[in-house]
Amino acid sequence: MKSVTFKAWAIDTNSKEGHGFIGRYWNFGNTYQPLPVHLEGCREALFVTRKLALENLPSVRRYSFPKARVVRVAVTIKTI
């Protein structure tokens, strides 16, 4: 079994409903950005840098999730 792990940045919604993490293709400022075909297999399209995540945080808080915060995440992909 092979595995690879990488680190990235996400916005944690901190919602009581369990909405989870927001990545770079969320509807920031009500501007729809379709997920590219090559990313459809991933649940989150994460941010490469903390700076990019922080730039998008205000619109997440303003439109839907006032308690949202930027978090570092580790993603592991394993073959089965």
DSSP 74: E
Q: State how far the Cα of 63 lies from the Cα of 73, in Å rounded to an integer.
A: 23
On whether the pTM is more than 0.75, the answer is yes
What rounded mean pLDDT belongs to the chain? 86
Domain residue spans of the chain: 3-78
Asked if 23 contacts 40 with a C-beta cutoff of 8 angstroms, the reply is no
Q: State how far the Cα of 66 lies from the Cα of 78, in Å rounded to an integer.
A: 34
Tokens representing residue 20 in the block = 């989870």
Q: How many CB atoms lie within 10 A of CB 53?
A: 23
Q: State how far the Cα of 61 lies from the Cα of 10, in Å rounded to an integer.
A: 14
Q: Give the model's pLDDT for residue 30.
A: 62
Question: What digits encode the pLDDT tens for the residues 3-37?
Answer: 999 999 999 999 989 888 988 877 766 666 666 77
